[in-house]
Amino acid sequence: MKIIKSIVSVCILVILTSCSSCSKDKKATTGKNHLSFKIDGVYWESDESEVFGSYHFSDALGPKLINIAGAKGTGAAQQAFNINLYNTDAEGSYTVNVPNGSTASTYQNVAQFANLTASNYLCGGLLQGSQLTISVSKVSKSPQIVEATFSGTMQCVEGNIVSITEGKFSYHE
């Protein structure tokens, strides 16, 4: 049952992330929304219109959730990245610590990267390990604002471990 609740939470967040394009024009003109990092030393940047963040948006998504998300590309090859931090109070340092070879429990902080390659389709998430440190420097509920930096590692379905460095995130509603 815990896995089902976690999967439902992730699905809801994916829907919210994909809905970020609903206000594409507003975001494109502000120039404030950004997600980037290096994965194994290679620079990765989300399409600006696909960046989404939230701070305590709704407890239906998870208790006191901070969400950091973005995607690059389109269709089946679209790469998506997100971090979900639960039971947060405000700005501060948070960790994602899912040991390699284990599964995340309900409302455990989790990070995932989808579609690294066609065969290595998921890194982190609920079923692979991930260890990241996230420094949240600014949050606001109204308007929704999240700013953070992050780094760490994620285990992928092929068993390899990728390094995430120089992570930068900024979302302003």
Q: Give the whole-angstrom CA distance, residue 105 versus residue 36.
A: 27
Angle at CA of residue 128, ends 96 and 41, nearest 5°: 70
61-82: b or e for each residue (b if 16 or more CB lie within 10 Å)? bbeebbbbbbbbeeeeeebbbb
Mean pLDDT across 119-125: 93
| 105 Rama class: left (phi>0) / alpha (psi -120 to 50) / beta | beta
Mean pLDDT of 129-152: 97
Cβ contact 55:146 at 8 Å: yes
Q: Which residues share a beta bridge with 82?
A: 69, 112
So what's the pLDDT on residue 31? 54
Model pLDDT, residue 10:
41
pLDDT, residue 103, reads 87
Residue 162 pairs in a beta bridge with 154
Q: Dump pLDDT digits (tens) for 4-54.
A: 333 333 433 343 344 443 333 333 334 589 999 999 999 999 999 999 999
* Residue 123, helix vs strand vs coil: strand
pTM of the complete model: 0.82
pLDDT at 32: 84
- Element containing residue 171 per DSSP (H, E): strand 161-172
Amino acid at the residue 73: G
pLDDT, tens digit (0-9, with 9 covering 90-100), for 55-105:
999 988 889 999 999 999 999 899 999 999 999 999 999 999 999 888 899
